[in-house]
């Protein structure tokens, strides 16, 4: 599994040392393979016989695919509970790997689907005694995966990291890397990146379309005080940055990466050009071809401003560090 590849990106302001840590090059196609492996191994070590239960989990896409990969290899039964915002290709992959997929259509009280997905799981748990809920939102093995792997890999690559930008969904990546960096690199400034409309850091809930970052219900494991700063990014800026990255560097990245790049761009003027900046890129962009990279979808969903260049297309460059 090659999950320690870094790409240097230029063309974003005056920043000279901006690196993306690409997490989409493993068998699961995203950083969530680490989470899936950690929570399943944790369950096995705790004494749960996963071969005798049906595993169930709520997912916006990537964790479901990662769980499906591992469960197919181990012969475990899996149900993934998702919603209409999930990438169609991710849902298709889950089903192809033998996973039962349930798509929840009812929105929760904050206008999202997470609360409704979790309520569905809890109702099934009451009826079906052979279900085992992974519960990535409260499972301590979620952040531990990133404390033990993602964070050390960053510090092993760079002598000094001045700024670390991390997108926030469940909060597992943020909490894991924060715990590690506070001990091993306390001077690193950790910036959490979330989507406008997400309630993770107490903002007003709003309709969101792009899966990966943000929630309509704050996960139990997320501590809002963990980062040094929080940046909220509107979804049209997510689309704009994904497309800028693709057309200026040839890297097709997922929505979470575009969101993180938008946060960096918004702060670039206040960052020393020679500071080392690392951003976590959770997945690649193939699963977003019919959404973020589709002009019709963008316009139909009210994100058309992303298609109007508000800044000239800068020439980007990428160098690979493995």
Per-residue confidence at 215, pLDDT binned at 50, 70, 90? Answer: confident
> What pTM does this model have?
0.92
Mean pLDDT of 59-83: 96
Q: How far apart are CA 115 and CA 108, in angstroms?
A: 5
Q: How far apart are CA 204 and CA 314, in angstroms?
A: 33
The proportion of the chain whose per-residue pLDDT surpasses 90, expressed as a percent, equals 84
Poorest-pLDDT segment among 77-91, 114-128, 183-197, 204-218 = 204-218
As given in the structure block, the two tokens for residue 222 are: 């997320």
Identify the domain boundary among 79, 109, 133.
Answer: 133
Q: Per residue in 221-237, pLDDT tens?
A: 999 999 999 999 999 99
As for how many domains the chain has, the answer is 2
3-state helix, strand, coil in the chain (%, to 5): 40, 20, 40
User: With 80 as the cut, is the pLDDT of residue 312 above it?
Assistant: no
- pLDDT at 299 (0 to 100): 96
Q: Per residue in 260-283, pLDDT tens?
A: 999 999 999 999 999 999 999 999
Q: In this structure, are 21 and 100 located in the same domain?
A: no
| Residue 140 belongs to a domain | no
Q: In this structure, are 199 and 89 located in the same domain?
A: no
Residue 75's CB is within 10 A of a number of other CB atoms, namely 9
- pLDDT at 4 (0 to 100): 83
- Backbone conformation region of residue 48, classed left if phi is above 0, alpha if psi is from -120 to 50, else beta: beta
Q: Which DSSP string corresponds to 173-226?
A: HHHHHHHHHHHH-TTSEEEEEEETT--TTSPPP----SSSS--SS--TT--TTS
Sheet holding 163-167, edge to edge: 229-233, 189-195, 163-167, 276-281, 17-22, 5-10, 317-321
Q: In this structure, are 16 and 127 located in the same domain?
A: no
Mean pLDDT of 172-188: 97
Cβ atoms of 270 and 11 closer than 8 Å: no
* Phi, psi torsion values for 304, nearest 5 degrees: -60, -20
Q: In this structure, are 197 and 244 located in the same domain?
A: yes
Q: In this structure, are 150 and 268 located in the same domain?
A: yes
| Residue 139 belongs to a domain | no
Q: What is the CATH number of the domain that holds 96?
A: 3.40.50.1100
Per-residue confidence at 322, pLDDT binned at 50, 70, 90? Answer: very low
Mean pLDDT of 151-161: 95
Q: In this structure, are 129 and 247 located in the same domain?
A: no
Q: Per residue in 3-51, pLDDT tens?
A: 589 999 998 889 999 999 999 998 899 999 999 999 999 999 999 999 9
Tally of residues, the chain: 322
| Residue 153 belongs to a domain | yes
Identify the domain boundary among 104, 133, 162.
Answer: 133
Cβ atoms of 153 and 280 closer than 8 Å: no
Q: In this structure, are 48 and 104 located in the same domain?
A: yes
- pLDDT at 313 (0 to 100): 43
Cβ atoms of 63 and 32 closer than 8 Å: yes
As given in the structure block, the two tokens for residue 130 are: 């052979």
| Residue 292 belongs to a domain | yes
- pLDDT at 67 (0 to 100): 97
* Phi, psi torsion values for 79, nearest 5 degrees: -120, 130
Q: In this structure, are 201 and 258 located in the same domain?
A: yes
| Residue 138 belongs to a domain | no
Q: In this structure, are 20 and 107 located in the same domain?
A: no
Cβ atoms of 124 and 56 closer than 8 Å: yes
Q: Per residue in 101-139, pLDDT tens?
A: 999 999 988 888 999 999 999 999 999 999 999 999 999
Q: In this structure, are 79 and 156 located in the same domain?
A: no
Q: In this structure, are 158 and 305 located in the same domain?
A: yes
Q: In this structure, are 191 and 216 located in the same domain?
A: yes
Q: 281: domain range?
A: 5-26+146-321
Identify the domain boundary among 106, 133, 160.
Answer: 133
Per DSSP (E only), the strands in 83-187 are: 100-103, 131-133, 163-167
């Amino acid at each position: 599994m090659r999950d320690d590849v870094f790409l240097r990106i230029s063309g974003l302001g005056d920043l000279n040392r901006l690196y993306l840590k690409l997490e989409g090059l493993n068998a699961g196609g995203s950083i969530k393979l680490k989470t899936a492996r950690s929570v399943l191994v944790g369950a096995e070590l705790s004494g749960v016989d996963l071969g005798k239960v049906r595993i169930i989990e709520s997912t916006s896409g990537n964790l479901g695919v990662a769980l499906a990969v591992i469960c197919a290899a181990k012969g475990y039964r899996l149900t993934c509970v998702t919603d209409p915002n999930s990438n169609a290709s991710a849902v298709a992959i889950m089903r192809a790997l033998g996973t039962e997929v349930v798509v929840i259509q009812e929105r929760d009280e904050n206008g999202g689907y997470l609360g409704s997905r979790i309520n569905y799981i809890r109702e099934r748990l009451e009826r079906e005694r052979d279900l085992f809920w992974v519960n990535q939102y409260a499972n301590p093995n979620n952040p531990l995966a990133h404390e033990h792997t993602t964070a050390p890999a960053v510090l092993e690559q760079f002598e000094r990291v001045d700024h670390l930008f991390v997108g926030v969904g469940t909060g597992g990546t943020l909490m894991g890397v924060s715990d590690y960096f506070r001990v091993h690199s306390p001077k690193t400034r950790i910036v959490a990146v979330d989507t406008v409309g997400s309630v993770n850091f107490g903002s007003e809930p709003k309709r969101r379309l792009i899966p990966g970052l943000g929630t309509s219900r704050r996960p139990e494991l997320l501590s809002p005080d963990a980062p040094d700063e929080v940046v909220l990014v509107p979804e049209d800026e997510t689309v704009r940055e994904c497309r800028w990255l693709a057309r200026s560097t040839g890297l097709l990245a997922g929505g979470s990466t575009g969101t993180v790049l938008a946060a960096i761009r918004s702060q670039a003027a206040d960052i020393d050009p020679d500071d080392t900046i690392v951003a976590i890129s959770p997945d690649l962009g193939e699963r977003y071809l019919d959404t973020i990279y589709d002009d019709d979808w963008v316009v139909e969903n009210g994100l058309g401003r992303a298609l109007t260049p508000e800044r000239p297309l800068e020439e980007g460059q990428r160098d690979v560090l493995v």
